């Protein structure tokens, strides 16, 4: 996927455009799948990379659908990783209808996060995509554990956080979703892991199919 995104950028389709397409398609799926929910309080939990950026775009496109939207940005090291997520965080900061929690040296984080989870109806897992490496730190493990025990509707963005997209192995913690919205094509690690992925929906984000012909 990284190579495909680089190839798309070479022919003029920027990663910012791909991120916008991904977030929009994700929002469209959520609106379709959960349109009958009586209460639509949505918590979007974002990492500091491009998977988190997809979640930020999704939030913008859910403003008219949701009763309330809260973004929890786990910017634990205080530095957003890519130009694309920085751009979308700047856009989000100016939108008053979206509540924002940026986790960076927030002493009251655990209690605030528990409260947000408890009042949510839908949780969007936009923590990690294909770029997860190694074990998870304690703060992120806490977040993932709270999501898993919440019994809320959980939607994974591209890949459930903690699941290896290549071989389906898991980190020390893994998000268990009822729905995974994956981009462009299914990843091999999603196969045969429905106890983690739930239903899988593949969406097009604008990468021309012919780019993958030689991969």
pLDDT at 105: 55
CA distance 94 to 100: 10
- Structural domain for 187, as ranges: 2-207
The yes-or-no verdict on residue 132 having pLDDT over 80 is: no
Number of domains in the chain: 1
Under DSSP, the state recorded for 163 is B
pLDDT at 102: 85
Distance CA 191, CA 92 (A): 34
Asked whether 98 and 92 are in contact (CB, 8 A), the reply is: yes
Whether residue 193 lies inside any domain: the answer is yes
Query: Residue 215 domain-assigned?
Result: no
pLDDT confidence tier of residue 76, bands split at 50, 70 and 90:
confident
Q: Any alpha helices (H) in the chain, and if so which ranges? A: 2-10, 15-33, 50-61, 83-93, 109-119, 138-148, 194-197
- Mean pLDDT score, 61-72: 97
Mean pLDDT over each residue of the chain, to the nearest integer: 91
Sheet holding 122-126, edge to edge: 98-102, 68-73, 41-46, 122-126, 153-157, 179-183, 199-203
What's the CATH number where 11 sits? 3.40.50.10260
- Do the beta carbons of residue 200 and residue 182 sit within 8 Å? yes
pLDDT of 36 strictly over 90? yes
Does residue 163 lie in a domain region?
Answer: yes
> Within a domain: residue 124?
yes
Q: What pLDDT is recorded for position 100?
A: 94
Above 60 in pLDDT, residue 34? yes
Beta bridge partners of 98: 69
Please indicate, yes or no, if residue 114 is contained in any of the structural domains: yes
Determine the Cα angle at 52 with ends 171 and 206, to 5°: 110
Is residue 137 predicted with pLDDT exceeding 90? no
Q: Is residue 99 part of a domain?
A: yes
Of the pLDDT bands very low, low, confident and very high (cuts 50, 70, 90), residue 22 is very high
145-170 average pLDDT score: 94
pLDDT over 70 (residue 4):
yes
């Amino acid at each position: 996927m990284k190579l495909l995104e680089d190839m798309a950028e070479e022919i003029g389709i920027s990663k910012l455009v791909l991120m916008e397409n991904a977030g929009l398609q994700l929002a469209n799926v959520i609106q379709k799948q959960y349109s009958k929910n009586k209460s639509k309080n949505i918590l979007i939990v974002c990492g500091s990379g491009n998977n988190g950026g997809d979640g930020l775009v999704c939030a913008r496109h859910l403003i008219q659908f949701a009763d309330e939207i809260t973004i929890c940005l786990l910017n634990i090291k205080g530095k957003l990783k890519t130009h694309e997520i920085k751009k979308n965080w700047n856009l989000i900061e100016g939108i008053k209808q979206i509540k924002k929690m940026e986790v960076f040296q927030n002493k009251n984080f655990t209690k605030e996060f528990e409260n947000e989870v408890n009042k949510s109806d839908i949780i969007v897992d936009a923590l990690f995509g294909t770029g997860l490496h190694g074990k998870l730190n304690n703060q992120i493990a806490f977040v993932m554990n709270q999501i898993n025990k919440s019994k809320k509707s959980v939607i994974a963005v591209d890949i459930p956080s903690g699941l290896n997209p290549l071989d389906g192995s898991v980190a020390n913690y893994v998000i268990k979703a009822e729905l995974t919205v994956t981009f462009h094509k299914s990843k091999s690690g999603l196969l045969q892991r429905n106890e983690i992925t739930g239903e899988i929906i593949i969406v097009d984000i604008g990468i021309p199919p012919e780019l993958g012909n030689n991969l």
